[in-house]
Amino acid sequence: MAAIDAPYPGSAAAAAIFRTCRFTGLKVDIAAQRLIMANAVAAVVFLAVGGVMGLLVALTRWPAVHLLPSEWFYLVLTGHGANVLLFWIIFFEIAILYFASAVLLGSRIATPKIAWAAFVLMLVGAVMTNVAVFQGDSSVMFTSYPPMQASPHFYLGLIIFAVGALIGVGIFFGTLVIAHGEHTYEGSIPLVTFGALTAAIIAVFTLASGAIILIPTYLWSLGLITEIDPLMYKVVWWGMGHSSQQINVAAHVSVWYAIGALTIGAKPLSEKVSRSAFLLYILFLQLASAHHLLADPGMSATWKIVNTSYLMYLAVLGSLIHGLTVPGALEAAQRRNGYTKGAFEWLRKAPWGNPAFAGMFLSLVMFGFIGGISGVVLGTEQLNLLMHNTIYVPGHFHGTVVAGTTLAFMAMTYYVLPLIFQRDVIWPKLARWQPYLFGIGAAGISLFMMGAGTLGIPRRHWDITLTDAMHPFDLPSGGFLMMGLNGLSAVIAAAGGILYIVITVGTVLWGKRLDKGDAPLNFPLHKQAATVAEYGSHTTVKLPGTIILVSIFFLSFVLYYFVNWKYLSEIWLLR
Amino acid sequence: MSDHPEPEVQPQRVPAMQQLLDNPFLLLFIGITIPTVLYIVWGVMEIASIPVAP
């Protein structure tokens, strides 16, 4: 049974109240717990709003349905981007930062009152931006490139949200300092916390870039500045726009390690190797922002190639390392759990009925095969010409952010609910299906958009039949088929998303209380789940299954990369 | 009781890489400096050096 402990000894920490989690044995600061709950609830609300908007976008881009008129399409597209790419993800990431610092380190959270102020700022900013979008005169899409201009409160909302999030990140660093100073842990921080630290560092650069460019843009919308240079805007804005997705990468890789530990007792194969991979993220991952300017003539080829190729590939190396060490840690743990037959018994007998494990593994596979490989292709200056500004680009980032990050965060929710909200997940049979439903839909969205983009279907275009265009143009019929399949996939993903929200909200409101009695969990933790909060490796090289899986991945990577070079050679008229 | 004093335990030397990975604020510094210099500052300098159309 969860117990409220006596106030933590030490004068500075006297006000903090802890409980001991009866499932993991972790000490949980009640103030941190409430903040995690608030941020997680806000995240789910914005996911619901942004998800509905995403479905409307997909149904409009499905040529046979073409649901919304153009004005509504661009309004909804703007709101979809802001709500899911920024608000859902960053609210959830702030919850992860508080969990990875205060809970995993057994520490009190730094300045909880300021953390609440940060939460209120984020909420006010997100609502303000949504109000601006729904008023209809801020349909500038997520990127809001000048000279398109939104209402002042569109930019102000984003700035206030960024300031709140930046304060939240500061509280994460403050909590690390407190935990170190009060000796709540020994040696190095756990790997999951180190991954969260990586996300926090990238978040500082991201949010600072956002503030640097959005403040003058806000003043421009007020008429106090006469002009915003579009190229300057693009460079600095993408410091926020793309790096915010790199926060996701670091955060969801941490979630993979965390769920591996919680569900099957997985430990990192090598703390040093995994931390070095995170270090490569810290050093180089933000440079991927330059992908978005590969077709801009104002930037030199040297700037583009140094950022997106030479140095960015070091961050890709980090992802490749995680792509080996995460499944490797899972295999090692399953073999330790007794599943030692052949190359794949560990995988066949994994807890596929546990939505946390299933969601994590699907996220791992789809992030690597879909989002990862396509990201490297898009980030190659020459190959980028094949798909720049086509719907391939949203296909790529739905592979990373939806199939990768969102699915991983959904998976993590199945343990946030019992461990933090202290409510057991309702409707476990439906919950088992949720990650598969959402995952299949997300994979379909990504692959069909990428296929349509390869055939030249433009992104952000309301009407690809080009009705009423002065110069008619027929896009390939295969592209129309792909957009229809994308619409169907979006319906499947939306069904998975609705199921997630219903289960999450239903559990918070009506789930069986776990703070009283000693009822077991619907999705039990592994007996060594507490390794999530420990430093230590399980060093082994006997990983035949992982080696086979990684070899398949490399083969796919190489084939797809060179197929695109072949494709480029056929359409590039420089002979 | 032994007349010989206990030998002093030499503190184990922490490798430089470990020191780096255990220092969140040093990581924060380099994690902000590198993209700021290579992406933002270099990028802004390139844009600033584009000649203005006559």
ipTM value for the complex:
0.92
- The H or E element spanning position A31 is helix A30-61
Q: In this complex, is the C-beta atom of B25 within 8 Å of any C-beta atom belonging to chain A?
A: yes
pLDDT for B48 equals 94
- pLDDT at position A87: 95
Q: What is the mean pLDDT of chain A?
A: 93
Q: What is the predicted pLDDT for the residue at A86?
A: 92
pLDDT above 80: residue A7: no
pLDDT per position as a tens digit, A177-233: 999 999 999 889 999 999 999 999 999 999 999 989 999 999 999 999 999 999 999
- What's residue A13's pLDDT? 63
Closest CA to A330 of A349, A317, A315: A349
Q: Using a CB-CB distance cutoff of 8 angstroms, which residues of chain A are in contact with residue B34?
A: 283-284, 286-287
Q: Which amino acid is at A337?
A: N
Tell me the mean pLDDT in the region A5-10: 50
Closest partner CB to B35 (pick from A189, A205, A272): A205
pLDDT 10s digits, A246-279: 999 999 999 999 999 999 999 999 999 999 999 9
CB A392 within 8 A of CB A454: yes
- Say if residue B41's pLDDT is above 50: yes
pLDDT tens-digit map of A361-407: 999 999 999 999 999 999 998 899 899 999 999 999 999 999 999 99
What is residue A516's predicted lDDT score, i.e. its pLDDT?
82
SS3 call for A540: coil
pLDDT at site A1: 39
Is residue A5 scored above 70 in pLDDT?
no
B40 touches chain A (CB under 8 A): yes
Distance from CA of A194 to the nearest CA of B (A): 9
How do the domains of chain A map onto residue ranges? Answer: 3-571
Exposure pattern of A388-400 as b/e (b: 16+ CB <10 Å)? bebbbbbbbbbbb
Instruction: Specify the amino acid at residue A465.
Output: T
Query: How far is Cα A110 from Cα A36, in angstroms, rounded to an integer?
Result: 13
> How many other C-beta atoms can be found within 10 angstroms of the C-beta atom of residue A225?
13
Query: Given pLDDT bands bounded at 50, 70 and 90, which one contains residue A14?
Result: low
Q: List CB contacts (< 8 A) between A235 and chain B.
A: 39-40, 43-44, 47
- The confidence score (pLDDT) of residue A3 equals 45
Query: Given pLDDT bands bounded at 50, 70 and 90, which one contains residue A12?
Result: low
Distance from CA of A237 to the nearest CA of B (A): 10
Provide the chain B residues 1-20 that lie in CB contact (below 8 A) with chain A.
Answer: 17-18, 20
pLDDT of the residue at A540: 81
CATH of domain A3-571: 1.20.210.10
Q: Residues A62-93: pLDDT tens digits?
A: 999 999 999 999 999 999 999 999 999 999 99
pLDDT of residue B2 exceeding 90: no
pLDDT in tens, A32-64: 999 999 999 999 999 999 999 999 999 999 999
Coil vs helix vs strand at A279: helix
Q: Which residues of B touch A204 (CB under 8 A)?
A: 28, 31-32
- How far off is chain B from A213, nearest CA to CA, in Å? 11
Find the mean pLDDT for residues A125-130: 98
pLDDT for res B52: 83
